[in-house]
Homo-oligomer: A and B are copies of this chain.
């Protein structure tokens, strides 16, 4: 299809009227056609009005209808073929194989949520039958199900132009829950967004759903983004991006006459703890694994290992030398956007100038525009504890090794950390006692704790937690990756004394949806 530069307001492709956004190929620093004029306040209002109009009907679509819709989106995305790959590569500087893999992940994610919708466990149906003879008061018949929150504003992420953008994790979990979605496209990949948006809109049409189920707007965060969050018809927000961006949306959402939930996935430096015996036993393998995780995708993962914590000594010294060697061999990679590249450069420069941190190694220099030169720094625990600047996220392939003089100091460093998406432990049996002592702290600090792995690589499954205490996310009670992400967009409603004819299907006496209900306190088999 020919890219038009239009907005998608329901089924209508409409040219924006505000300042245009134009993607830049970060590998060449050249602008890409077409321009994407921004949505006006009127466009925002139109998209929200359509979403609102669609809400009551969409949230009561059958499980099969909704699952089929998600499957159809996957099919439509696959039908875009190589055009999607080419455009995403041009807009992100990511290699084609990565984009192909990400397309696979995106479609798998859509189909996974289709299965989740069909299974219906998320409805969490509960039934407490009437007890008319109970003394001193009869109990009425009481039933509970989960209902969708309402239209959701989704903000695409720059670093997953498919898997966490227009039809990514936030969108699919909101749609699965029964929420219409209005996406604000990320300005770094508007063409990719248009292609995927078109695929979603086609699926909406083919499935005969109300058009307001999905809209796609281009424009600035300040105008279109805050416009969406401030619209009274929007009832929740999904966001992946910077701490400042997430906080701006969070504050706007909280200042509304009716505050709404914001699921913002923001900043995390993903500490890696190398325990004494594991470090001694596996120094070289750890150094290699660490740098592979650090430099993967130019370090542009939310779960990039930005911090390594271990006891000082010969083993750690060797680890730093070996990791430094791998870093020095690391080829510079194109970053997603010129903005991300300059933020990386600024972050690295701040560390290089910080007298509390020493540069241990730098990667191969850049060969083209916007290329990330990997960096490894070292600091001492005492300095780390005293200098908050050393805890700032540097988005890209930079990491800081913190040398500690005791297990107790390792614990102190861990306690000093802000909330994290992940914490990683490398250990052998002889380290178990040390790890066990640290675990309570890590459980308070992180959404996912890994043993003998690396934090990059996030499974889409039932157990995944891609979340964590503030500022990793704005709501630690949830995950944005994995099937539990659907729970973010639901709320419980209790139906008391309803005649069967008035009950929603999920709650009817005959259990026509064959759900495993919590019946009178017992989960049905």
Stretch at the interface among A62-70, A397-405, A432-440: A432-440
The verdict on A38 contacting chain B, using a C-beta distance below 8 Å, is: no
* Cβ contacts under 8 Å, A451 to chain B: 495-499, 502
The verdict on A386 contacting chain B, using a C-beta distance below 8 Å, is: no
Judge whether B493 and A447 touch: CB under 8 Å.
Answer: yes
The minimal Cβ–Cβ distance linking A493 to chain B, given in whole angstroms, is: 6
Interface string of A432-454 (1 = CB under 8 A from B): 10011001100110111111110
Judge whether A497 and B450 touch: CB under 8 Å.
Answer: yes
Judge whether A463 and B126 touch: CB under 8 Å.
Answer: yes
The verdict on A484 contacting chain B, using a C-beta distance below 8 Å, is: yes
Chain B residue nearest to A435 in the complex (CB): B502
**In the complex with contacts A139-B459, A462-B128, A474-B259, A443-B494 CB distance below 8 A:** no
The verdict on A339 contacting chain B, using a C-beta distance below 8 Å, is: no
Which of A60, A140, A144 has the most CB atoms of chain B within a 10 A radius of its CB?
Answer: A144
Stretch at the interface among A7-15, A364-372, A465-473: A465-473
Interface string of A491-525 (1 = CB under 8 A from B): 11111111101100000000000001010010101
**What copy number does this chain have within its complex?**
2
A121–B187 alpha-carbon span in the complex (Å): 43
**In the complex with contacts A258-B470, A432-B499, A143-B493 CB distance below 8 A:** no
Judge whether A502 and B439 touch: CB under 8 Å.
Answer: yes
Judge whether A521 and B462 touch: CB under 8 Å.
Answer: yes
* Cβ contacts under 8 Å, A429 to chain B: 499
The verdict on A464 contacting chain B, using a C-beta distance below 8 Å, is: yes
A147–B432 alpha-carbon span in the complex (Å): 21
A474–B235 alpha-carbon span in the complex (Å): 13
* Cβ contacts under 8 Å, A502 to chain B: 432, 435-436, 439, 451
Chain B residue nearest to A525 in the complex (CB): B525
* Cβ contacts under 8 Å, A60 to chain B: 440
The minimal Cβ–Cβ distance linking A480 to chain B, given in whole angstroms, is: 12
Chain B residue nearest to A465 in the complex (CB): B494
Judge whether B137 and A457 touch: CB under 8 Å.
Answer: yes
Task: Give the contacting residue for A463; candidates B142, B147, B523; CB below 8 A.
Answer: B142
The minimal Cβ–Cβ distance linking A30 to chain B, given in whole angstroms, is: 33
Judge whether B493 and A465 touch: CB under 8 Å.
Answer: yes
**In the complex with contacts A496-B448, A502-B436, A143-B491 CB distance below 8 A:** no
Judge whether A477 and B261 touch: CB under 8 Å.
Answer: yes
The verdict on A56 contacting chain B, using a C-beta distance below 8 Å, is: yes
Judge whether B493 and A446 touch: CB under 8 Å.
Answer: yes
A469–B379 alpha-carbon span in the complex (Å): 49
* Cβ contacts under 8 Å, A495 to chain B: 448-449, 451
The verdict on A127 contacting chain B, using a C-beta distance below 8 Å, is: yes
Interface string of A125-150 (1 = CB under 8 A from B): 01110000000010110111001011
A10–B446 alpha-carbon span in the complex (Å): 28
Task: Give the contacting residue for A449; candidates B127, B261, B461, B496; CB below 8 A.
Answer: B496
A15–B443 alpha-carbon span in the complex (Å): 36
The verdict on A354 contacting chain B, using a C-beta distance below 8 Å, is: no
* Cβ contacts under 8 Å, A476 to chain B: 149, 491
A471–B448 alpha-carbon span in the complex (Å): 34
A142–B478 alpha-carbon span in the complex (Å): 17
A142–B463 alpha-carbon span in the complex (Å): 6
The verdict on A385 contacting chain B, using a C-beta distance below 8 Å, is: no
The verdict on A419 contacting chain B, using a C-beta distance below 8 Å, is: yes
- A–B Cβ pairs within 8 angstroms, 9 of them: A126-B463, A128-B462, A128-B463, A139-B461, A144-B462, A432-B499, A448-B493, A467-B492, A478-B492
